[in-house]
Structure 1
Amino acid sequence: MAVASLSLFPAQTITAITTISQFPENPKTLILQQCKSRKDLKQIHAHLIKSQLILNPSVTENLLESAAILVPNTMDYALSILRRIDEPDSSAYNVVIRGLTYKQSPQEAINLFKQMCENMVAPDEFTFSSVFKACSRLRRLVEGEQIHAQVVKRGFQSNEFVENTLIHMYANCGRIVVARRVFDGMPKKGVVAWNSMFAGYAKNSCWEEILNLFSKMRKLDIGFDEVTMISVLNACGRLANLELGGWISKYVEENEFKGKLTLVTSLLDMYAKCGQVETARRLFDQMERRDVVAWSAMISGYSQANRCKEALNLFHEMQKACVDPNEVTMVSVLYSCSVLGALETGKWVHFYIKKKRMKLTVTLGTALIDFYSKCGSVESSMEVFRKMPVKNVFSWTAIIQGLASNGKGERALEFFRLMRENNIEPNDVTFIGILSACSHAGLVDQGRTCFLSMSKDFGIERRIEHYGCMVDILGRAGLIEEAFQLIRNMPIKPNAVVWRTLLASCRAHKNVAIGEESFKQITELEPAHSGDYILLSYVYASVGRSQDALRVRYQMREIGIKKAPGCSLIEVEGAIHEFLSEDEVHFHSKEIYSAIEDMMKRITSAGYEPNFADARIDAEEEDKETSISHHSEKLAIAFGLIKTTPGATIRISKNLRVCTDCHNATKIVSKVYNREIIVRDRNRFHHFKEGSCSCNDYW
């Protein structure tokens, strides 16, 4: 480093030096360890000038490191010191470039590198490493390639330190093939180089390539470390490769890695993603120390396995353990709340996010939109959407799907128009939401237009789900023949779901011939389930063919097909209550059945007539009325009526499609008790209010 000028001091007023009584001959420790603030920095800097130690290049470098990296909010001070060095060498530039990169100013780091080159200061391996990291963070491929050319020109292409950051840069810029070319061209590859390549593949979701590279690593008998295993376990979880994940688990145990928190957390996460939730929980319970990542991994594991009640229970334990959740935790908890319809718990999570001033990222905002939509609180989901500072295609798709499933078809199309005005390109999932919106709102012409627009205007290939939506649009509108021909002319083989959609339309529009053909096609593709038999029996019943309807029901019983038990969930005071049809195990059973009896009397007086076709198939004639009055959603509604304040909205989630009898009964309950009742079934939301439903009696 060139000798520094004695005028090396920013143009600032120097405060009196009061804290340093005796200055050491070698001030390195003082500068790097005891300098904690701008005031300390200025005091030490003044001493260096007074004692002329500032003329020592290594001392000036220590001062630069303290200002650029160690002391907060003093980057301007570091730059002013650098500017006042007569002829700074690469070491001085390296410290400041590294500080700018680490302190989230990568563009300034690249600018300083360019200035360094203009001043004819030769960069070294540390310069290249730092500036590649800056290019990586900004995804500046062009600058990265130009600096790569300098690396080759200056003979650093065989430097492992430089090439590791070069791999990161190319991988982060989406050029994973080039990153691999750099890796393969390295004459000597240490474990750090292998880990850089694993990290690059992970960044680009190339999970198979990680496992292939690890296999090669093992064949070459190259020792791997904790970082390697974490990358490979991540890939095992994504690919559900339990065999290799189990091998690493055994290796961890045999080689005494059990105390490594990050590694054990990765093992836990791998088991959870592979569906081995109990094994993951055992690992979790054995951990001596659990950080937020471990808690989040276990909560996420429960969520992914749809064991959402356990996910929320564990979240409550996390709160008792005084571990602050992060964004990953919140997304998993919100997903569990959305599945369970746990609005109050989810609202508390949203309050916590606001209270902790957590950034409303695209991921977190989209999770909130999805949660509120799936709890039937559309206005809240739109409020979150409006407040999101950044929105991507997934955010727009979530709000469109939420509006569609809640019967707000026109609003969903309006948001689609806004999406296009904001130059956000829709994807294939967006169109599923758009087509669903058209279906629920009876917008046939708009549905046809959107269906054609997919490939014509956006180049999106139609999937089976898009054809299913179009069949639903036509079927709901009574265009059964057109829907049937659409299925016949599909370029891809229709699945049972598509035929089942048509069968449901045949029931609503009393088309026996196509209904029978739909049922036949379903049974040829897969064993028909109870819902298919029930739908066909409804088709017959709708045209007065009661004997045929009974025949189908008895056929179902003879084959041994049982109707899946209805299960309804309701959240009251933050607790989730679960009800099965004719359930008597709930600790409030007596009170609930008393309320059911009163509710059925009141709605019968208001015009309710039971639909005995929805009774248990094995119920005797005299028991059918009791059977339908004890359906799970009726039990949940009765519980809601006695446990919530008068006038409060009742929210129910059901695992099956709402039956005709419960739909009719709930409409009258909403009027008699002056309650809004929101039911989310397997297909959609039903907003019952003042005796009518948002689905217009077709679902």
Structure 2
Amino acid sequence: MVVVMMTTPSTLPSKTPTPITSIPYFPSNPKSIILYQCKTLMDLNQVHAHLIKTRLIHSPAVAGNLLESAALILPDAMDYALSVFRSIPQPNPPAYNIIIRGLTLHHSPREAILLFKHMCQENVVSPDDFTFCAVFKACSRLRALLEAQQARVHAKAVKCGLMSSELVENTLIHVYAACDAVEVARRVFDKMPERGIVAWNAMLAGYAKSGCWDEVVGLFLRMKEPRGVNVNDVRFDDVSLIIALSACGRLANLELGEWIGEYIEANGRSRNLTLMTSLLDMYGKCSNVDKARVVFDQLERRDVVAWSAMISGYSQANRCSEALDLFHEMQKANVEPNEVTMVSVLYSCGVLGAMETGKWVHFYVRRKKLKLTVTLGTALIDFYAKCGSVESAIEVFEKMPVKNVFSWTAIIHGLASNGEGKRALELFHLMKEANIEPNDVTFIGVLSACSHVGLVKEGRAVFLSMSKDFGIKPRIEHYGCMVDILGRAGFLDEAFQFIKDMPIEPNVVVWRTLLASCRAHKNVLVGEESFRRITELEPAHSGDYILLSNIYALVGRSEDALRVRSQMREMGIKKSPGCTMIELEGVVHEFFSEDDEHSHSKEIYMATEEMIRRIKSVGYEPNIADARIDAEEEDKVVSVSHHSEKLAIAFGLIKTKAGATIRLSKNLRVCTDCHNATKLISKVYNRKIIVRDRNRFHHFQNGSCSCNDFW
């Protein structure tokens, strides 16, 4: 603040004094007053008036200080800076540089470039290296590659003999990279006789911005190479290491990432939070999440970026329970989540079916009035769809201000997996009307929608439309969807022929899809052939044997069914343990078949026995074909009664209010016995039960299922 002396006439002591501004001492070099004591535009006005009065304004250095204060330091003083600049008879290069920088800073890069053109056209003053740095940055802000080239900014720098300036070259690399001309930036970089760390980092950053991760690693390895004693050795700084770690994460280059980790430790860089967060993020992206956790636990301070990186690492590794546990720790630490945190948490909630935690995230977004970005909105859609809450998913979709192909694809997939095939197709048509071009993943969702509701004609049309109308070459997943569409509808021979005519080699998933359809339609011949083709490609797993055994059992060939089961036992093939998850009051509970590890185990088994007794009274009969293979004959009924799904439902019945929806998530396909039992439970207890199995959703209500008994 400018020093102000106030004088009050002694004859009027009772009146409020009128302040009179005076500057008793004004140094010959008033730089400190102008740059550090002027806090407002009024302060600057006072100083400016004094400079005019004392004619110090005619000093280029003093005028430059005044311009710098108005253009670069004080807020909302750019117009004042321009008026001062225009009043200078012959501005020197530093004055031009300040105004060009100020215009760029205040979001007027186009005016900055125009001023540079004027400066060159008038030939009043020659630009210096700082001028070119300033105008290059203006081009970068404007992403004006044409300005940088066609306006001959670069050519002008060459003509002025300033391309040998390291400062200009570094800035030029930056602007070309910012304008997506990374190849041109590399040519400038390669022509530099000497390159300092700024040049290397500018080139690394340019490659990273363009997603050229292999080039980042290649350039970093060049930095890492030993050099001769007469060559300037380039030492990595934190910026170099952070960019290189990002590339290692993207490319899953754990070897180089670990070397960087060792370098950080050996050179005492581990106190840099940003650098250490990049290291743990790299470990997470390289699927070494335990090493990432070691780094996380060693951090002296953890900001939201560090917490988010660790949670993201767990979610990407599908260790979703640990991701949610860490998120709860983050809340206890009073660290507010950001968008990255919430997207990772929503993904984990979707995988686990953790509805309450995901709803809390959505509530947080609304309470904080956070912008519903494409990324966050799409994550919410995916979460609600994976929890079977279709209406909530649609509500989020409709409220999103901006939607891209991923948002549309997420809602189409969500509707398809929840048995809302017709609504999914309606949205697909709306998507095309909105001129959002579908991608290959979109078509997987649309074909799945046709499959789940038996729309064979529509499915055929969509499949042909992929390549004909959108130029998308079908992948193995699209062929698998077509096999499912045909097989579900009972066109097994056509599905079999479709597989034989495929232009690409069918995989086991395609044959398993056909095998599942054979079970639904009791087709032994095609089922046996499908099973044979599976075993040719890889050893059949337990699910394949069980499907074939079920086909035999459904057509009355019990001896063959038992033979298949015996083969499983002899070959040591065990059925994967069924695991069902249910979230209650923010805690995810896991149940395994015949599990007695739960803290409420005794209460749960009592509720299960009561549940089985009640559904038996309305016609339920256990299907012992779904019992454990190694169970004794007399224990088979007990075995199927204690499947993980039934235990989880019983726990939900005793821990939730009457009439509340029960939501489950299961790691395997729902077995026939549990499917039949759950239909009756929904009727007897008047509950809606939503089960997500490995393939799809089942919405049980009033004794029926949304899958129409086909899954």
TM-score, with normalisation over the residues of structure 1? 0.92
What is the distance in 2 between the residues matched to 1:499 and 1:623? 33
Deviations 1:584-643 (A, max 9, x none): 111111111111112112222233222221111111222222211211121111111111
What is the distance in 2 between the residues matched to 1:313 and 1:576? 10
Decide whether the 8 Å contact of 1:431 with 1:454 is kept in 2.
Answer: yes
Deviations 1:496-536 (A, max 9, x none): 11111111111111121111111111111122111111111
Q: Which amino acid aligns with 2:497?
A: Q
Decide whether the 8 Å contact of 1:17 with 1:43 is kept in 2.
Answer: no
Look up the SS of the partner of 2:365 in the other structure. helix
What is the distance in 2 between the residues matched to 1:322 and 1:208? 39
Q: Which amino acid aligns with 2:555?
A: V
Deviations 1:310-366 (A, max 9, x none): 111112222222222222222111111111111211121122223333332222222
Whether 2:100 is the aligned partner of 1:97: answer yes
Q: 1:245 to 1:446 in 2, by over 3 A?
A: same
Q: Which amino acid aligns with 1:438?
A: C
Whether 2:334 is the aligned partner of 1:327: answer no
- Aligned pair partner of 1:126 in 112, 119, 130: 130
The answer for the alignment partner of 2:653 in structure 1 is 641
What is the distance in 2 between the residues matched to 1:391 and 1:22? 62
The answer for the alignment partner of 1:58 in structure 2 is 61
Whether 2:558 is the aligned partner of 1:546: answer yes
What is the distance in 1 between the residues matched to 2:457 and 2:19? 80
How far the C-alpha of 1:186 sits from its partner, in A, is 2.2
The answer for the alignment partner of 1:359 in structure 2 is 371
Deviations 1:441-494 (A, max 9, x none): 222122111111111111112111111111111111111112111211111111
Q: Which amino acid aligns with 2:190?
A: D
Q: Which amino acid aligns with 2:137?
A: K
How far the C-alpha of 1:555 sits from its partner, in A, is 0.7
Counterparts of residues 29-48 of structure 1 (less than 5 Å): 29-38=32-41, 40-42=43-45, 44-45=47-48, 48=51
How far the C-alpha of 1:26 sits from its partner, in A, is 3.7
Whether 2:596 is the aligned partner of 1:584: answer yes
How far the C-alpha of 1:297 sits from its partner, in A, is 1.3
Alignment identity in percent?
72
Whether 2:148 is the aligned partner of 1:144: answer yes
Residues matched between the structures, number: 685
Q: Which amino acid aligns with 2:136?
A: F
Q: 1:21 to 1:379 in 2, by over 3 A?
A: farther
What is the distance in 1 between the residues matched to 2:377 and 2:506? 35
Q: 1:606 to 1:294 in 2, by over 3 A?
A: same
The answer for the alignment partner of 1:496 in structure 2 is 508
- Aligned pair partner of 2:350 in 338, 346, 349: 338
Q: Which amino acid aligns with 2:204?
A: F
Look up the SS of the partner of 2:588 in the other structure. strand
What is the distance in 1 between the residues matched to 2:588 and 2:23? 63
After superposing the two structures, state which structure 1 stretch, 316-325 or 494-503, moved more. Answer: 316-325
The answer for the alignment partner of 1:190 in structure 2 is 196
The answer for the alignment partner of 1:442 in structure 2 is 454
The answer for the alignment partner of 1:312 in structure 2 is 324
How far the C-alpha of 1:565 sits from its partner, in A, is 0.8
What is the distance in 1 between the residues matched to 2:271 and 2:400? 40
What is the distance in 2 between the residues matched to 1:608 and 1:18? 96
Q: 1:427 to 1:668 in 2, by over 3 A?
A: same
How far the C-alpha of 1:550 sits from its partner, in A, is 1.3
Q: 1:52 to 1:484 in 2, by over 3 A?
A: farther
The answer for the alignment partner of 2:3 in structure 1 is none
Q: Which amino acid aligns with 1:143?
A: E
The answer for the alignment partner of 1:177 in structure 2 is 183
How far the C-alpha of 1:201 sits from its partner, in A, is 1.6
Decide whether the 8 Å contact of 1:136 with 1:170 is kept in 2.
Answer: yes
Whether 2:226 is the aligned partner of 1:247: answer no
What is the distance in 2 between the residues matched to 1:687 and 1:562? 29
The answer for the alignment partner of 1:205 in structure 2 is 211
The answer for the alignment partner of 1:10 in structure 2 is none
What is the distance in 1 between the residues matched to 2:24 and 2:477? 77
Decide whether the 8 Å contact of 1:198 with 1:210 is kept in 2.
Answer: yes
What is the distance in 2 between the residues matched to 1:611 and 1:79? 86
How far the C-alpha of 1:400 sits from its partner, in A, is 1.6
Q: Which amino acid aligns with 1:348?
A: W
Counterparts of residues 366-445 of structure 1 (less than 5 Å): 366-445=378-457
What is the distance in 1 between the residues matched to 2:54 and 2:611? 92
Q: Which amino acid aligns with 2:104?
A: T
What is the distance in 2 between the residues matched to 1:407 and 1:585? 34
Q: Which amino acid aligns with 1:188?
A: E
Deviations 1:138-183 (A, max 9, x none): 4433233324344444444333323333333333333332332222
Decide whether the 8 Å contact of 2:60 with 2:92 is kept in 1.
Answer: no
Higher alpha-carbon Rg: 2
The answer for the alignment partner of 1:8 in structure 2 is none
- Aligned pair partner of 1:620 in 613, 632, 650: 632
Q: Which amino acid aligns with 2:172?
A: L
What is the distance in 1 between the residues matched to 2:640 and 2:41? 75
How far the C-alpha of 1:117 sits from its partner, in A, is 5.0
Deviations 1:344-400 (A, max 9, x none): 111211222233333322222222221122112222222222222222222221122
- Aligned pair partner of 1:473 in 474, 485, 490: 485
What is the distance in 1 between the residues matched to 2:360 and 2:510? 39
The answer for the alignment partner of 1:11 in structure 2 is none
Name structure 1 gaps, 5 residues minimum: 1-14
The answer for the alignment partner of 2:277 in structure 1 is 265
What is the distance in 1 between the residues matched to 2:610 and 2:88? 89
Look up the SS of the partner of 1:584 in the other structure. coil
Q: 1:93 to 1:466 in 2, by over 3 A?
A: farther
Q: 1:56 to 1:333 in 2, by over 3 A?
A: farther
Q: 1:691 to 1:110 in 2, by over 3 A?
A: farther
Look up the SS of the partner of 1:490 in the other structure. coil
Q: 1:66 to 1:470 in 2, by over 3 A?
A: farther
Decide whether the 8 Å contact of 1:97 with 1:131 is kept in 2.
Answer: yes
How far the C-alpha of 1:25 sits from its partner, in A, is 4.7
- Aligned pair partner of 1:28 in 13, 27, 31: 31
What is the distance in 2 between the residues matched to 1:472 and 1:295? 42
How far the C-alpha of 1:101 sits from its partner, in A, is 3.5
How far the C-alpha of 1:698 sits from its partner, in A, is 1.3
What is the distance in 2 between the residues matched to 1:18 and 1:608? 96
What is the distance in 2 between the residues matched to 1:671 and 1:114? 79
What is the distance in 2 between the residues matched to 1:368 and 1:339? 13
Q: Which amino acid aligns with 1:144?
A: A
Decide whether the 8 Å contact of 1:37 with 1:71 is kept in 2.
Answer: yes
What is the distance in 2 between the residues matched to 1:538 and 1:645? 37
Q: Which amino acid aligns with 1:514?
A: V
How far the C-alpha of 1:205 sits from its partner, in A, is 2.1
What is the distance in 2 between the residues matched to 1:19 and 1:407? 81
Decide whether the 8 Å contact of 1:342 with 1:576 is kept in 2.
Answer: yes
Q: 1:598 to 1:26 in 2, by over 3 A?
A: farther
How far the C-alpha of 1:109 sits from its partner, in A, is 4.3
Look up the SS of the partner of 2:164 in the other structure. coil
How far the C-alpha of 1:309 sits from its partner, in A, is 1.4
Q: 1:653 to 1:145 in 2, by over 3 A?
A: farther
TM-score, with normalisation over the residues of structure 2? 0.90
Look up the SS of the partner of 1:578 in the other structure. strand
Deviations 1:671-691 (A, max 9, x none): 222222111111111122222
How far the C-alpha of 1:60 sits from its partner, in A, is 3.6
Whether 2:665 is the aligned partner of 1:653: answer yes
Look up the SS of the partner of 1:311 in the other structure. helix
Cα root mean square deviation, aligned: 2.5
The answer for the alignment partner of 2:12 in structure 1 is none
